[in-house]
Amino acid sequence: MKGFDYDVIVIGAGSAGISAVKTAAGLGKKTAIIEKKRLGGECTWSGCIPSKSFIHASGLPHDDPVYRDPLGFVRKTIEKVYSEENPGSFEKSGIEVLTGKAVFTGKRSITVNGREVRARKFILASGSKPLIPAIDGIDRVKYFTNEDIFEIETLPESLVILGGGPIGIELAQAFKRLGTRVTVVEMADRILFREDRELSDIVANRLVSEGVELVLGARAVRVEEGNGISLTLEGHKVIMAAALLAAAGRVPELDGYGLDSAGIKYSKRGVIVNPFLQTSNHDIFACGDIVGPYYFSHVAGYQGVTAGLNASLPFMRRQDLGSVLWTTYSDPELARLGLTEEEARQKYKKGLRVYRVPYSRLDRAKTEGCTEGLAKYILDRRGRLVGAHIAGKIAGELIHEAQVIRYFKIPLPVLQSVMHAYPSYSDIIRQAAKDAYIDGIINNPVVKLARKIMSKIKGGRS
């Protein structure tokens, strides 16, 4: 390794970076990972782990110790997860951990804490940061983002949330259930506007029924701080609250890494990569939120493995984001795979079939009183899934059976002959498969002809 300190250096220790460096190390490469803050990244410290712990706590009985101390529960959970991601665990795997800000000084070199380090290949996984909306006065008030909201000592009496996307909606419901008065301000005409409207409306109705105020089609123009937060909307409506949470989305973390010095091309949307996750400097790969277009930990992990393989092996694998799925962990959960019905109708002009299965058709849902919800399956003319959407209990688990058949291009009607346990929530896809199978029989040309003949025979006898 003459002239190089490492085979592969990974910059950023979030989901993408950890997956990348473990992949490269597993393939026998001499590796190092560099993190300027804490190992685990956004997901461990301010994303998936704390938010889902907080949501869990908010749904418990009010006399439960976890419900009474949700923030304490969040911090304990973070520490449990971090115990498996600390520097010692990486070093046991032969991965050197360097702490500090990595800055490229050339096409194969960086500096970290004043030390210059060289590697044959680099993988950039620096992640993303909260998008702060351009509102007059926001730089002069105290506001929270997902990066620091879980560090508060006590729950605010009232909270206004900027953004009706997954982060904003999950936290809105959780804070409301824990006793905070919550208002969500969203510029679009509905919350979760990237989801299928029919299903996002189910979540919206639940939030409203629980007392969350949704202010839709509204643009915040000014924010001031005095006796709490005063948020002025276009049209002069003013919302008062004790605290403000900015949850308007995320943007890639690009600043201060010396990307120009390394010959890495980028835009405001992130680092530009080819299908193999190579940047314009083919010795440097990029993955995760820095690349996008999806800001999910599971997508970042997938990209990290792909980048780790491609930086380590003589042959390369393309990334495939054709089967991306995700879940909003509201109650009810909302899971999405593929196209919405509106998107599908724009792409496929003819032959689409849409099957809806309400939770009220499931005997298991009836036994638990969880009949609120709907699953929607969108099929092309061959019976293959182009989209699946589920709003209801454990939707985030149920969506994976649809993911499997979509990934392997299995027509949905095939599932009707696959045995499912009874009673179970998984019946929500078997029922749709059965409906599609019956439609296929009814619309079969041979069956249609036979029915026509039989109809004529019966008519002649009469």
Q: How confident is the model at residue 44 (pLDDT cuts 50, 70, 90)?
A: confident
Domain with CATH 3.30.390.30 in the chain: 332-445
Q: Is the per-residue pLDDT at 1 higher than 50?
A: no
Q: Is the Cα torsion angle 316, 321, 323, 325 positive or negative in sign?
A: positive
Q: Classify strands 353-358 and 374-379 as parallel, antiparallel or unpaired.
A: antiparallel
Distance CA 15, CA 29 (A): 19
DSSP 118-133: EEEEEEE---EEE---
Whether 330 and 173 have beta carbons less than 8 Å apart is answered as yes
6-40+85-129+251-312 topology per CATH: FAD/NAD(P)-binding domain (3.50.50)
Residue range 278-289, pLDDT digits in tens: 999 999 999 999
Q: Is the per-residue pLDDT at 51 higher than 50?
A: yes
User: Which CATH number applies to 332-445: 3.30.390.30, 3.20.20.70, 3.40.50.2000, 1.40.20.10?
Assistant: 3.30.390.30
The mean pLDDT value of the chain amounts to 93
**Cβ of 355: how many Cβ atoms within 10 Å?**
19
34-48: buried (b, 16+ CB within 10 Å) or exposed (e) per residue? bbbeebbbbbbbbbb
Whether 190 and 366 have beta carbons less than 8 Å apart is answered as no
4-20: buried (b, 16+ CB within 10 Å) or exposed (e) per residue? ebbbbbbbbbbbbbbbb
Name 97's bridge partners.
Answer: 33
pLDDT reported for residue 130: 95
Residue range 190-233, pLDDT digits in tens: 999 999 999 999 999 999 999 999 999 999 999 999 889 999 99
pLDDT reported for residue 84: 79
The pair of structure tokens assigned to 334 is 């909302």
Residue range 410-426, pLDDT digits in tens: 999 999 999 999 999 99
Contacts of 252 (CB under 8 A, 6+ apart): 126, 127, 128, 266, 269, 270, 271, 289, 290, 291, 292
Residue range 350-372, pLDDT digits in tens: 889 999 999 999 999 999 999 99
Distance CA 129, CA 124 (A): 15
Q: How confident is the model at residue 443 (pLDDT cuts 50, 70, 90)?
A: confident
Q: Which CATH architecture has domain 138-248?
A: 3-Layer(bba) Sandwich (3.50)
Cα 252 off chain centre by = 15
Residue range 91-122, pLDDT digits in tens: 888 999 999 999 999 999 999 988 999 999 99
pLDDT reported for residue 279: 98
- Predicted TM-score (pTM) of this structure: 0.92
pLDDT reported for residue 148: 93
Domain with CATH 3.50.50.60 in the chain: 6-40+85-129+251-312, 138-248
192-221: buried (b, 16+ CB within 10 Å) or exposed (e) per residue? beebbebbbbbbbebbeeeebebbeebebe
